[in-house]
Amino acid sequence: MLNVTTVEQQLNGILVQERLTATLAGFFGVLAVLLACLGLYGVISYAVTRRTSEIGVRLALGATPAQVLRMVLKESLVLVSVGIAIGVSGAFAATRLISTMLFGVGAADPLTIGIAIVLMITVATLAVLLPARRASKVDPLVALRYE
């Protein structure tokens, strides 16, 4: 008995391994981005929360909550910008290692790098704003006693 299949079925059978590998790589890529965002959020929000007493001192000495938010946001985004610069330069340095594994995407794809940069800046901004807003709304005396 003959086993008749179409070319499309034969190609699907041949490409099963490659599709599985691509799907797993995509899943682990998304997982890596999620973990990077969670880590960035955790570190920055922890650092801002640790500054609650400093924020209380600044508020007690007459700073407005908007000034405090601007200061904390500026300092944090400078750190994030340095991290982004190091990360992008590291990504460009690693392109020779991974260029053979990429299909349909350049090793230095500007869209992908741009999306990653915007995502990290957005996560960092949220990580700064939420605890800093909470700390700036606290009574300065309570913030000074905060440990």
Which two structure tokens, joined as six digits, stand for 134? 């909470």
The pTM for the full model equals 0.73
> Which ranges in the chain belong to alpha helices (H)?
7-14, 16-50, 52-60, 65-93, 95-98, 110-136, 140-145
Mean pLDDT of each 10-residue bin along the chain, 147 residues long: 82 86 89 89 85 84 87 87 90 78 71 88 85 78 70
CA atoms of 115 and 75, how far apart (whole Å):
22
Contact, 90 vs 8, CB < 8 A? no
User: 131, 41 in Cβ contact below 8 A?
Assistant: no
